[in-house]
Amino acid sequence: MLRRENELRLSPSVQALYRAEHDVKDERENGWIAVTEELQREVAREFGIDPAVGASLMQRAEWIFVGETDAIIELSLYRKFNRMENGALNVGDVAPLDSAFVHPLLSHDATSAADGEQTASVGPAVAIRELMSSGGGRPLVVIAGSVS
């Protein structure tokens, strides 16, 4: 399945989909992540596997087949050239208070004046220090993650 997924990812038609979805704000719904998830479901269907199960297997292959990690990485271009690194923070470290992130509750929808069309828009970046000072002395819990 990983070979087939890699083959399809590199195909001109899927590359065109990735290019078309490159600048989409909501990657989970319409962007490159949605393209990838649909591609994985399609590969699972080709192999006669439930699409949700097959996609999950492809996404977690390194952790499921621990002894085969090197072979799995070789099979997938995106794994082979993965630039992701572990961050510098460890459990117990002091949070970088000036780090900014987009607060989901401050995000909003905007209407484009040019065409009157409703568009999703990302709210302003907010520093953790700013959230702490506006919390009235209440503890601040930040839960963050990435689906990519």
**124 — phi, psi (to 5°)?**
-70, 155
Q: Which residues contact 43 (CB under 8 A, 6 or more apart)?
A: 1, 4, 5, 8, 54, 58
pTM as predicted: 0.57
Phi-psi category of 48—alpha, beta or left, where left has phi over 0 and alpha has psi -120 to 50?
Answer: left
The whole-number pLDDT of residue 112 equals 40
Least confident of 12-16, 60-64, 100-104, 108-112: 108-112
Instruction: Dump pLDDT digits (tens) for 71-123.
Output: 888 888 778 877 777 777 788 888 777 777 766 555 544 444 444 444 444 55
Instruction: Dump pLDDT digits (tens) for 128-143.
Output: 888 778 777 788 787 7
Q: Are 91 and 84 in contact (CB under 8 A)?
A: no
Summary mean pLDDT of the chain:
77
